[in-house]
């Protein structure tokens, strides 16, 4: 969802494996601002609505249940969000 210069990715559930870290890889022509958001809301619950999740910016608060990236002030380029999880 978003506008011409702003969008949010889908939520990526991380609770099952545990979140270790996230890594952002920007293209060489990237001209945008972004923030990694996390939520402690349960994405596995039957009543969970991703549009109503309580996004938090900055360092994750445990237990992190899902993460996403929010892009704003987009002009050009691309980025990739890599979620690094614990192994089971």
pLDDT tens string 58-71: 776 677 888 888 89
Over residues 20-61, the pLDDT tens digits come to 678 889 999 999 999 888 888 877 777 777 777 777 777 766
Q: How far apart are CA 84 and CA 88, in angstroms?
A: 13
Amino acid 16: pLDDT: 63
Q: How far apart are CA 84 and CA 65, in angstroms?
A: 13
Q: Which residue is associated with the tokens 């991380």? A: 14
Q: How many CA atoms lie within 13 A of 50 on its CB side?
A: 12
* Contact (Cβ atoms closer than 8 angstroms) between residue 66 and residue 13: yes
Collapse the DSSP code of 36 into the 3-class scheme (helix H, G, I; strand E, B; otherwise coil) and give the result.
strand
The distance of Cα 17 from the centroid of its chain, to the nearest Å, equals 16
Name the pTM for this structure.
0.76
């Amino acid at each position: 969802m978003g506008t011409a210069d702003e969008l949010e990715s889908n939520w990526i559930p991380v609770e099952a494996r545990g979140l270790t870290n996230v890594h952002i890889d920007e293209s060489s022509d990237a001209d945008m601002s972004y923030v990694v958001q996390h939520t402690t809301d349960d994405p596995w619950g039957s009543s969970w609505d991703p549009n109503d999740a309580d996004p938090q910016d900055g360092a994750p608060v445990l237990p992190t249940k899902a993460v996403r990236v929010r892009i704003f002030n987009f002009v050009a380029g691309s980025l990739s969000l890599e979620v690094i999880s614990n192994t089971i």
